[in-house]
Structure 1
Amino acid sequence: MLTAALLAGCGTPDLAGEAASPAPVGQAAASPPATPETTPTPSPDATDTSEAAAAPDETDAAQQPGGSKAADVAFARKMVPHHLQALEMARIAQTRAGDPWVGQFAAKVATARDADIRTFKGWLDMWGAEPLPRDHAMPGTQTRAEIEALAKLNGPSFDRKYVTLMIEHDNGAIKLARAEQADGSFDGAKALATATVTALGAEVKELKKYRDLLD
């Protein structure tokens, strides 16, 4: 078994560091949103030439409620289904993994992603927005067929596939987080994006180290 080989001296990837708790929320989620300034009420005879406010999307650059920008809203809308897929894959690993390391890794992923999903949903509720659909195509996400195929694997074959898919998945989440770092304006979302880049980057290194032991 791979676990025995690791314990014999090959070295098991250490999940006690940053990769053990990817994307910690920390103070980012606790920071209250900035209170938007009060806009003077126009006089009854004033002519309103502005266009109707559009629902938050990935291209709207207008300022959103709570001191957020459209980039912040788009980040949260994407990260909820992105993390939900990682959570689904982690739960599959609880019964399909062959190596205990993979099962333990998946359990830690599930805990971290669940915490961040709650944070993102809280922001979306505050902004009056909804997450993107569960199977919305994004960087690093898998198709429904790929997830179903993963769920049919067992033991070593599952371990290899899960680790490979999680490397892709984490790199996709990092890409989304870097876009928030570059374009976002909401302090909480930017802080969580920075934490995501750091923690998932460390997680990818651990996954690659483990995959090297499989080769």
Structure 2
Amino acid sequence: MTTFRRIAVPLLATMAVLTACSQETPEAAPASPSASAETSSAVASPSPSPVPSASPEASSPAAEPSAVPTPEKGYNDADVTFAASMIPHHLQALDLTQLAGTRAHDMWVRDLAGRVRSQREPEIRVLKGLLDTWGEQPLPRDQKLPGGVTQAKMTELAAASGAAFDRMFITLMIDHHEGTLALARSEQEQGAHADAKALAGGILVTQEAELKEMKKYLSQLKK
């Protein structure tokens, strides 16, 4: 073999090997140390889910509770309505019983009228004291209320006498008592003030007993 062939053959073989290697798909370059560290950290400690930031309304001063709490009034609208309504209602009962004190024929009717007056007068003072404390006023005397007696009926009663007066007085007082009981029950159910609710409870006991007496008396008059 000539010197040229001894050199050319190995050279051609080496070139063939290099060409074949260059046509193969290159392997992925190894990750850099910093990238590998970041990947390992991400796998080992996954980042927490993002926490939504508070809305502007939630963080605004208006949404925060007041630093100084509002003092509790101790009463509500139902208490005021009860006291303001019961005063003119009781005053009308005094008007009715005043007529009975001079015009009633039956002594039982006169006695009932006296008992009603003695019970209503102190209740009116208590009711007025509650309204004064709350800065409120009673309703006017001519306010239409449950069981209220019209002016025409009052005039008719004032003109009656004897047994006719007794019958009409008891009939009007039964309606008047039922109206009072409606106001007292409403206070018991909806009121908040302890003294007002206690007064309403006392009115229920007293006037339910009086109502029972009057209905029994009226049934005897009709026989």
Same topology, TM > 0.5: yes
Residue 64 of structure 1: CA displacement?
A: 10
143 and 67 in structure 1: CA distance in 2 versus 1, 3 angstrom threshold: same
Match of 1:108 among 115, 119, 142: 115
- Higher-helix-fraction structure: 2
More contact order relative to length (CA 8 Å, sep ≥ 6): 1
4+ runs of 1 displaced by more than 3 Å?
A: 63-66
Alignment of 1:200-211 (within 5 A): 200-211=207-218
Provide the rounded CA distance (Å) in 1 between the counterparts of 2:145 and 2:216: 25
User: SS of the counterpart of 1:68?
Assistant: coil
Mark the runs of 5 or more structure 1 residues left unpaired by the alignment: 1-45, 48-62
1:166 and 1:177 map into 2 onto residues whose CA distance is: 16
Q: 1:73 aligns with which of 80, 83, 86?
A: 80
1:122 pairs with 124, 129, 139, which one? 129
**Any stretches of 5+ residues in structure 2 without a counterpart?**
1-60, 63-69
User: Counterpart in 1 of 2:101?
Assistant: 94
What letter corresponds to residue 163 of structure 2 in structure 1?
A: P
Matched-pair identity in %: 46
Is 2:172 the counterpart of 1:153? no
Deviations 1:172-211 (A, max 9, x none): 0000001101110000011111111121111100001111
Q: What is the aligned length?
A: 155
Equivalent residues of 1:64, 1:127 under 8 A apart: no
Q: Deviations over 1:29-69 (max 9, x none)?
A: xxxxxxxxxxxxxxxxx99xxxxxxxxxxxxxxx9985111
Residue 164 of structure 1: aligned partner: 171
Partners of 2:138 and 2:155 lie apart in 1 by: 23
Equivalent residue, structure 2, for 1:143: 150
> Which has more radius of gyration?
2
TM normalised by structure 2 equals 0.67
Following superposition, the deviation at residue 213 of structure 1 comes to 1.4
